[in-house]
Amino acid sequence: MEVLLINRPTHVCKTRALLALILLMWVPMEVMAGTENATHLSTRPSSLNIGALFTLNSVIGRAAKPAIYAAIDDVNSDPSILPGTKLNVILHDTNCSGFLGTVEAFQLIENDVVAAIGPQSSGIAHVISHVVNELHVPLLSFAATDPSLAALQYPYFVRTTQSDHFQMYAVADVVEYFRWREVIAIFVDDDCGRNGISILGDALAKKRSKISTRLPSLLEPPTTQSMSCWWE
């Protein structure tokens, strides 16, 4: 019997930075293209507000903040991208809390944002997605990987990374390669972790293997907040 530690993967800062650059350049152009007279400079707004929701004092938050500002500077310094329009970014700290994340989302929308980037946690994304659905504001996340964040339920949630569905099937392939028949899965005990383990169980069943024991992780980050918010 083998033991697998199924935890949130540590994200590579460079990858996140590149994704942030792509997102911030793509969102405003898509919004502008969707208006009736977007091709005419006279109808372009002089500025566009983009929101960002992160736990700023976290691994992803500390990497995303300078990347977002760098992306904004790149777009604003190149007049060929959005001529006559300046991008503004409004950052709000969710502090790894679903309640605070919802409050911050409402405050962002009061600033007339055309879209919001984040959050980094699937749990907070579930809560905020209900808000943006009602207010019709796109929410783009490159860190929320819970497979249950589906477009059918959350039409204004856009995931720009692979969901845990693909990760769990990759883990199942590793189990099959080593010809293991039973594994012990250690996971973060939240909605995202439980959903991921459920998918892993299905993937292993197709390989004629199984999870013999499921153990919620007792490890915690330096604060009392959920590990998934810090590392997801």
pLDDT tens digits for range 36-87: 444 444 578 899 999 999 888 888 889 999 999 999 999 999 999 989 899 9
Model confidence pLDDT, tens digit, residues 172-202: 999 999 999 999 999 888 777 888 899 999 9
Strand order in the sheet with 182-187: 2-5, 182-187, 210-216
208: left (phi over 0), alpha (psi -120 to 50) or beta: left
pTM over 0.95: no
User: Two tokens at 144?
Assistant: 């929320």
Q: pLDDT tier at 229 (50, 70, 90 boundaries)?
A: low
Domains of the chain, CATH where assigned: 2-8+164-231 (3.40.50.2300), 13-159 (3.40.50.2300)
Q: pLDDT tier at 35 (50, 70, 90 boundaries)?
A: very low
Q: Which residue has the higher pLDDT, 191 or 146?
A: 146
Q: Which residue has the higher pLDDT, 154 or 1?
A: 154
Best CA proximity match to 228, nearest among 136, 137, 97, 93:
97
Q: Percentage of the chain with pLDDT > 90?
A: 38
Lowest mean pLDDT among 34-43, 67-76, 116-125, 223-232: 223-232
Q: Distance between CA 78 and CA 39 in Å, rounded?
A: 17
Q: Distance between CA 172 and CA 67 in Å, rounded?
A: 34
Q: Distance between CA 146 and CA 12 in Å, rounded?
A: 18
